[in-house]
Chain A
Amino acid sequence: AQSVSQHNHHVILSEAASLELGCNYSYGGTVNLFWYVQYPGQHLQLLLKYFSGDPLVKGIKGFEAEFIKSKFSFNLRKPSVQWSDTAEYFCAAGAPDTGFQKLVFGTGTRLLVSP
Chain B
Amino acid sequence: DGGITQSPKYLFRKEGQNVTLSCEQNLNHDAMYWYRQDPGQGLRLIYYSQIVNDFQKGDIAEGYSVSREKKESFPLTVTSAQKNPTAFYLCASRFSSQGHNQPQHFGDGTRLSIL
A positions within 8 Å CB-CB of B: 6, 9, 32, 34, 36, 42-46, 49, 51, 90, 92, 94, 99-108
15 A-B contacts, Cβ less than 8 Å apart? A9-B40, A43-B107, A46-B103, A51-B100, A51-B101, A90-B42, A90-B43, A101-B48, A101-B96, A102-B45, A103-B33, A103-B43, A105-B43, A105-B44, A107-B41
Counting from the closest, the 10 A-B pairs by CB-CB distance are A100-B100, A44-B106, A107-B42, A105-B43, A51-B101, A105-B42, A43-B108, A43-B106, A108-B42, A46-B103
Of residues 4 through 63 on chain B, the ones whose CB sits less than 8 Å from some CB of chain A are 4, 31, 33, 35, 40-45, 48, 50, 58
Give the CA-CA distance A42 to B9 in the complex, in Å. 12
B76 sits at the interface (CB 8 A): no
Of residues 58 through 115 on chain B, the ones whose CB sits less than 8 Å from some CB of chain A are 58, 90, 92, 96, 100-101, 103-109
- Size of interface on B: residues with Cβ below 8 Å to A: 25
Q: Across the interface, do A102 and B48 meet the contact criterion of CB distance under 8 Å? A: yes
The secondary-structure label for the interface of chain B is strand
B positions within 8 Å CB-CB of A: 4, 31, 33, 35, 40-45, 48, 50, 58, 90, 92, 96, 100-101, 103-109
